[in-house]
Amino acid sequence: MRHILSPLLILISLGVAAQQSTFHAGILPEIAISYSLNEKLKHTTKIESQHETYFDKWEYSYSQTDFQSFLDYRFNPFWKGALGYQFRLVEKGNNAHRTIQQIAAVQKYSGFRLGHRFRIDQTFYQSGAAVKYRIRYRLSTEIPLEGESLDPGEYFIILSDEALYSRQDGKNDFENRLAIALGYFVGSKNKLEAGLDYRLEKLLDRKISHNLWLKLGWFYTL
Amino acid sequence: MKQSATLIALLISVNGLAQVKTEVEKRIDSKDVPQKAIRWLNDAYEKVDKVKWYYEETTGKASYEAKLKWNNRNHSVEFNTKGVIEDIEIYMDWDELPDYVRRNVIHYMDSAFTKYNIRKIQQQWTGEPDDLEDAIDEHETEDITTRYEIEFYGKNENHNELWEGLFDHMGILIEQRIIKLLPTDNLNY
């Protein structure tokens, strides 16, 4: 794990130093609970909260919480489509509503699984700011650490990279999210994950924003 | 009428055989494997380079499995908990199956599913330990039983699933079960 994290931190430092940029870090806990309505439909509720930390002053502040709800349709064992809604509760009061549409696919290989997620979303701000439109693609892989398939009571690594393009009020932006986490499959319904999520925001701006989050996730299937 | 009756019978058998496969598999060290299994493997696969050992439980039944590469093919060799060989599975491509096996498998798929896609094929050998050893090191396959384990996606009126089917040496279905994929929530959300 240390071998993977060290180059990542070096890259971040070089990136921050090389240009006019900002750096944010913090903790990003998330909980997702899913339950099947029937053979084809599933509902997923997810809560994700951002807590920013300032290492230079050793301070901490709550940033925002996202409440998400998805209705998931299974086309076949590999492809699923989902419609979702998110309410973002922001500390400074600029709350937002988001509508989400996504298609996700999983590819099963001997020794790992690949996940593809194509998503578009539209964000509506309570402040009256222009609607933000985003299109995004995430590639992720789940690698069991104790055999060729993941079984209850086993650890796994999950790696993902997501590219996001957004447009708001005539202005384009591009973002990349790279994440690595160590996971534990508890029973046959719980997955716990802990890892790092490195986000490069405002890539089309002169002032790139670097964000490093300690991500803690709990995925529960009822 | 006869065709409809055959189709109904096939669909009933698809429903009847729609068991769910549950499997647990864990990588283990060769020192945790019964010596009898190691001895058989070394006799049959002489000077094999690299063997990965796994402990498996399939629908409550425990076994040991060795995975290795032999003559450029992936072999899985399964032993019971006493170290006695149970079967050998060899990965194959669709084009490598005998014509009559392909014909029978396609006939079954066409009759039982409106849409299907074959994903993985393993030739399965069972028999006495000595005969299986001869099949590996002397290519003598007369005294062993050959079957085909085929993983496929199949959709019909009642099911839209990933399946594992066991077909006999002629390509006639013996049994099949649904493969349940693990939850994908962490990959989707």
Dihedral angle, C-alpha B48, B51, B57, B62, nearest 10 °: 50
Rounded Cα distance, B87 and B149, in Å? 12
Write down the mean pLDDT value for chain B. Answer: 87
The dihedral sign for the CA sequence A171, A124, A120, A53: positive
Tokens of B178: 């649904």
Chain A, chain B: beta-carbon pairs less than 8 Å apart: 80
Smallest CA–CA distance, residue A4 to chain B, in Å, is 21
| Chain A residues touching residue B160 (CB < 8 angstroms) | 74, 76-77
User: How far does chain B reach from its first CA to its final CA, in angstroms?
Assistant: 49
Confidence (pLDDT) at B53: 94
What is the bridge-based pairing of β-strands B23-28 and A59-74?
unpaired
Q: Which structural domains are found in chain A, ordered by start?
A: 2-221 (2.40.160)
Smallest CA–CA distance, residue A162 to chain B, in Å, is 12
Give the one of B26, B161, B188 whose C-beta lies nearest to A77's C-beta: B161
Confidence (pLDDT) at A29: 96
Confidence (pLDDT) at B15: 44
* pLDDT surpasses 60 at B14: no
**Chain B residue closest to A80 (CA)?**
B188
Give the one of B160, B184, B185 whose C-beta lies nearest to A76's C-beta: B160
Q: Does A79 touch chain B (CB under 8 A)?
A: no
The DSSP 8-state label assigned to residue B157 in this structure reads: S
What architecture is the B2-184 domain classified under in CATH? Roll (3.10)
Confidence (pLDDT) at B22: 57
- Please give the ipTM for the structure prediction: 0.79
Confidence (pLDDT) at A19: 55
Q: Does A217 touch chain B (CB under 8 A)?
A: yes
* pLDDT surpasses 60 at B69: yes
Give the one of B54, B153, B185 whose C-beta lies nearest to A147's C-beta: B54
Q: What is the pLDDT of residues B91-150, one digit of tens each?
A: 999 999 999 999 999 999 999 999 999 999 999 999 999 999 999 988 888 889 999 999
Confidence (pLDDT) at B4: 46
Distances (CA, A) of A162 to A55, A64, A179: 27, 21, 9
How confident is residue B1, by pLDDT bands cut at 50, 70 and 90?
very low
Other beta carbons less than 10 A from residue B181's beta carbon: 13
* pLDDT surpasses 60 at B155: yes
Give the one of B25, B160, B161 whose C-beta lies nearest to A149's C-beta: B25
Task: Please identify every stretch of chain A with a pLDDT value under 70, giving residue numbers as ranges.
Answer: 1-20, 55
Cβ(A206)–Cβ(A221) under 8 Å? no
How confident is residue B16, by pLDDT bands cut at 50, 70 and 90?
very low
**Are the Cβ atoms of A151 and B186 closer than 8 angstroms?**
no
HSE, CB side, 13 Å, CA atoms: give it for residue A135. 2
Q: For chain B, give every domain's residue range.
A: 2-184
Smallest CA–CA distance, residue B24 to chain A, in Å, is 6
Confidence (pLDDT) at B7: 40
How confident is residue B57, by pLDDT bands cut at 50, 70 and 90?
confident
Rounded Cα distance, A81 and A70, in Å? 10
Amino acid at the residue A89 = L
| Chain B residues touching residue A68 (CB < 8 angstroms) | 189
Tokens of A101: 């549409």
Smallest CA–CA distance, residue B49 to chain A, in Å, is 19
Rounded Cα distance, A184 and A66, in Å? 24
Q: Identify the burial level of B46 via C-beta atoms within 10 angstroms of its C-beta, where 0-12 means exposed, 13-18 middle and 19 or more buried.
A: exposed
Nearest C-alpha neighbor of B152 from the set A77, A143, A105: A77
A7 versus B159: the higher-pLDDT residue is B159
Confidence (pLDDT) at B21: 58
Tokens of A26: 């913090």
DSSP per-residue string spanning A32-85: EEEEESSSSEEEEEEEEEEEEEETTTTEEEEEEEEEEEEEEEESSSSEEEEEEE
Nearest C-alpha neighbor of B87 from the set B36, B35, B128: B128
Confidence (pLDDT) at A188: 78
